């Protein structure tokens, strides 16, 4: 429906800044219908739905830098976003003959999302050429949703003929993140090195109730703490090459609290080495090979252990999250090359990669929900090969 945006930047002495923002208002109209027929092709009911959604969205960001001294710079970068959604929906159920509507269900949904992030960094350069960064990252956000529904029978003219059945659902999600850390890097002889350490605390809290009763699988708290340190070093062995070796130590502690107050804790320690090697055969051809161990963290929403009842079938199983889920430890092997052609205006590259990891995931039950959580569900291997070609027009 409309959009407005603007930005400004400038510099005053040792101070530099950038500020920008955008506002947008959108409206989406959707209608859908479904007619059902029996095995003989005769009408057998169906439904129709009208829906309109309106969005009001704002996003603002900025970056401010100030040189305290020739060797010290202070940086602050805030970000704010807000979104309001209003949905009005009416759905109708056809009679068996597709002639009139029998029931009507009106629902309104109001949803608000809001987030704020603030990143602060202090950069310092020592006399010996070593550089440091000390930073603090803070993020917070929430989402609230209210659904109000009225369902009732109607006559052929669309007038209510029964007492409306009221349905009320409220849901709230709260997120927060603290992440301080520091990084040092420099050059010593032929070695270019970097070392860093830090910690973070992430929390997710969800609450949902339907008609005043809390929904078990949508009511939980999750807290994740991560402590890490790493070291990397890059150097040349033969001249036209670059070897980079590194190692990262990481400890993660996760605690999940379900609707009954029960707590599930898991503590994992990981040592992740990496090795990357790049060799320039000539000015136009580069070859590379790498191996590294990485981590893939689970979605915090998949950690709640509360059971959500289904029908116990493949289509609609019982399911629940897995509080025993730990970060997946993945070995990645990557090889490839880049061939520069047409006097450097084009690139032909080939890449081959293999990843091996254990998988732990959400649990599905076909019959008896049971009480156990799988420690290891399966192993997976994924390989791929990508060919890429780029060309630059001489006039660009």
Q: Give the CATH number, domain containing residue 230.
A: 2.40.170.20
Total structural domains in the chain?
2
Is the pLDDT reported for residue 214 higher than 90? no
pTM for this prediction: 0.76
| Cβ contact 82:122 at 8 Å | no
Closest CA to 47 of 100, 111, 93, 116: 93
Predicted pLDDT at 296: 80
Tokens of 62: 């900025």
pLDDT, residue 379, reads: 46
The whole-number pLDDT of residue 247 equals: 97
Tell me the mean pLDDT in the region 306-326.
64
136 shares its domain with 216: no
Average pLDDT rounded to a whole number, residues 195-215: 91
Whether residue 163 sits in one domain with residue 51: yes
Task: Mark whether 290 and 274 lie in a shared domain.
Answer: yes
Range of the domain at 143: 1-188
Identify whether residues 106 and 200 lie together within a single domain: no
**Tens-place pLDDT, residues 16-39:** 999 999 999 999 998 888 888 988
| Domain final position from 188, 203, 220 | 188
The two structure tokens encoding residue 340? 């520069």
Indicate the residue among 188, 212, 235 that finishes a domain: 188
Residues 307, 312, 315, 318, Cα dihedral to 10°: 10
Q: What is the pLDDT of residue 359?
A: 53
Kindly state whether residues 166 and 235 are assigned to the same domain.
no
On whether both 251 and 170 belong to a single domain, the answer is no
Helix and strand counts by DSSP (H, E) for the chain: 0, 18
Q: Are residues 362 and 255 in the same domain?
A: yes
Q: Which of 171, 188, 205 is the last residue of a domain?
A: 188
pLDDT digits (tens, 9 = 90+) for 58-69: 999 999 999 999
């Amino acid at each position: 429906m409309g959009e407005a945006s603007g930005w400004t930047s400038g510099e005053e002495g040792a101070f530099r800044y950038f500020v920008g923002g955008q506002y947008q208002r959108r409206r989406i109209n959707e209608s859908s219908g479904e007619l059902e027929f029996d095995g003989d092709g005769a009408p057998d009911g169906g439904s129709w739905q009208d829906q309109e959604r309106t969005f009001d969205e704002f996003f603002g960001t900025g970056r401010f830098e100030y040189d305290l001294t020739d060797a010290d710079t202070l940086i602050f970068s805030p970000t704010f976003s807000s979104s309001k959604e209003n949905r009005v929906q009416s759905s109708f159920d056809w009679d068996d003959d597709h002639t009139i509507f029998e029931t009507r269900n009106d629902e309104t949904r109001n949803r608000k999302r809001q987030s704020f992030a603030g990143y602060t960094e202090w950069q310092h350069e020592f006399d010996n050429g070593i550089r440091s960064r000390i930073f603090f990252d803070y993020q917070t956000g929430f989402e609230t949703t209210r659904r109000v529904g009225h369902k009732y029978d109607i006559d052929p003219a669309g007038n209510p003929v029964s007492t409306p059945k009221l349905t009320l659902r409220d849901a709230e999600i709260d997120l927060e993140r603290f992440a301080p850390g520091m990084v040092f890097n420099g050059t010593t002889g032929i070695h270019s090195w970097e070392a860093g350490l830090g910690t973070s605390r992430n929390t997710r809290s969800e609450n949902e109730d339907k008609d005043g009763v809390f929904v078990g699988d949508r009511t939980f708290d999750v807290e994740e703490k991560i402590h890490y340190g790493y070291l990397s070093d890059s150097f040349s062995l033969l001249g036209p090459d670059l070897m980079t070796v590194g190692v990262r130590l990481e400890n993660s502690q996760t605690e999940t609290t379900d609707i009954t107050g029960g707590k599930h804790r898991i503590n994992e320690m990981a040592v992740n080495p990496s090795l990357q090697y790049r060799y320039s055969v000539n000015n136009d051809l580069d070859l590379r090979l790498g191996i590294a161990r990485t981590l893939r963290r689970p979605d915090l929403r998949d950690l709640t252990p509360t059971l959500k009842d289904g029908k116990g079938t493949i289509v609609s199983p019982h399911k629940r999250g897995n509080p025993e889920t730990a970060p997946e430890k993945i070995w990645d092997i990557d090889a490839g090359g880049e061939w520069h052609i047409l006097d450097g205006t084009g690139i032909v590259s080939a890449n081959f990669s293999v990843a091996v990891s254990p998988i732990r995931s959400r649990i599905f039950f076909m019959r008896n929900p049971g009480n156990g959580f799988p420690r290891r569900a399966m192993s997976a291997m994924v390989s791929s090969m990508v060919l890429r070609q780029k060309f630059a027009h001489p006039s660009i």
